[in-house]
Amino acid sequence: MHKKDDNNFKQFITDIVKKHGTPLFLISGVRLKERVEYFRKLLPGVVPYYAVKANPSSDILKTFADMGLCFDVASENEIGNLLKIGVPPDNLILANSVKSPSLIKFAREKKVLLFTFDSEYELQKIAKYAPGSRVIARIKVPNVGSIVELSLKFGLEPEDVLSLLVRAKNLGLKPEGISFHVGSQCTRVENYLESFELTSMILKDAQTKNIRLKIVDIGGGFPIKHFSHEEDIFEEMAPVLNREIDRIFDKSIQIIGEPGRALVGPCCTLVMRVIGKSIRKNKHWYYLDDGVYGCLSGIIYDHCKYQFNVFKKGSVQISTLAGPTCDSFDIISVSEDLPELEIGDIVYVKNIGAYSIATATNFNSIPVAKTILTE
Ligand SMILES: Cc1ncc(COP(=O)(O)O)c(C=O)c1O
């Protein structure tokens, strides 16, 4: 970033804090559009279904809906919020592979008829509450090195898939494809490549049973930069993914993806202020007005590490950052290199759009940071 950009950014943050106070969760509308275009440019053969769980903010949903995006949903509210803003039900996939009967019934009533499953019990539920629906088998795939492992909880063993695709057909459902998730913030391209190979074998096996699968859902996992010094690994992975998709899958197969983090992560900034300060065992502690019970909840649930930035200059010392609640669990970081800060100084975190405000609570009745849609 150039010096001028730095100064502009500082002015922008200072002005917005003066107007709205802190903590603030800033969403850049321009960045949201850029990220969708970036995804489409990097993976032109993959239709993105935005994983709403990453950040269900109405500003984000509206921006993406206006761009004609499809969505991966997991609950009644996610479905309802999207239908309310005019997203056609055909543009949704209910990709929560374990759904309550009432969620399946609700989806059917709303004409959302594409479901993932990863067990026979789930197929039976879908057949009962949404007969005739289209189903996609979610398989367990390598999640090696991904920051959030999803195959721990979800996915059929690949050898069990064929019999369940046949079972789906016998239950009157339409088996349409295979899905997987390589784990969130996946920096190992081999996870995708091994999943493609597994999926391709299943597609071939299915044909022997007269089941022609049409969709391969490569899930999410596409990594972002959380720190300014990091490389953009997604950009490096994309040509390999494109080449292998072209090589492995027939042109007639529709490839879809469920990116969450990659679309919203880089679009949001959390702005906080120092509300308290102390020196414990010779170390500075700074208490901020947001913490792990709020928008920094990704530290816990997303196993995420963030870059904490300040405008203050000066010699740095290892300091602790803590949140505003009464719980000693609310410690954000014990080793941040920071100049000496004072009450009221701003601390901000970029690239915090995914799995942050989505999992924030209002513990201690402290309100969740105010969201502002900016340019
Ligand atoms: C089924 C499913 N699809 C997509 C995603 C989004 O993943 P990511 O944010 O890593 O792209 C998740 C994340 O948990 C998921 O569970």
Q: Does one domain contain both 133 and 281?
A: no
Same domain, 256 and 283: no
Let me know: does 185 contact 224? Beta carbons within 8 Å.
yes
326 is annotated as an active-site residue: yes
Integer CA distances (angstroms), 366 to 6, 137, 206, 278, in order: 31, 41, 53, 22
Strand partners, 370: 24
Whether residue 184 has its Cβ less than 6 Å from ligand 1? yes
Q: Minimal CA–CA distance to 203: which of 175, 182, 183, 181?
A: 175
For ligand 1, is residue 222 a contact (CB within 6 Å)? Answer: yes
265 CA to middle of ligand 1, Å?
A: 12
pLDDT for the residue 68: 97
Backbone CA torsion sign across 236, 183, 102, 211: positive
The pTM assigned to this predicted structure is: 0.97
Site of tokens 């695709």: 165
pLDDT at 151: 73
Task: Return the C-alpha torsion angle 46, 47, 53, 59, nearest 10.
Answer: 130
Nearest CA to ligand 1 atom 12: 220
In this structure, are 80 and 161 located in the same domain?
yes
Ligand 1 atom index nearest CA of 96? 1
Asked whether residue 99 falls in the same domain as residue 14, the answer is no
**Gap between the Cα atoms of 302 and 306, Å rounded:** 11
Q: Are residues 296 and 358 in the same domain?
A: yes
Q: What letters, b where the CB count within 10 A reaches 16 and e where it falls short, cover 187-197?
A: bbbebbbbbbe
Domain that residue 357 falls in:
3-26+266-374
Measured CA to CA, the distance from residue 212 to residue 175 in angstroms comes to: 8
Q: Is 118 helix (H, G, I), strand (E, B) or coil?
A: coil
What pLDDT is recorded for position 357? 98
Q: How far apart are CA 125 and CA 100, in angstroms?
A: 8
Last residue of a domain, one of 231, 264, 297: 264
The pLDDT of residue 144: 82
> Are residues 251 and 271 located together in one domain of the fold?
no
Question: What is the rounded average pLDDT for all residues in the chain?
Answer: 96
- Taking the chain (375 residues) in consecutive chunks of 10 residues, what is each chunk's mean pLDDT? 75 97 98 98 98 98 98 98 98 97 98 97 98 98 80 89 98 98 96 97 97 98 96 97 98 98 98 98 97 98 97 96 97 98 98 98 98 96
Using a 10 angstrom Cβ sphere, with 0-12 exposed, 13-18 middle and 19 or more buried, the burial of residue 242 is: middle
* 310 shares a domain with 347: yes
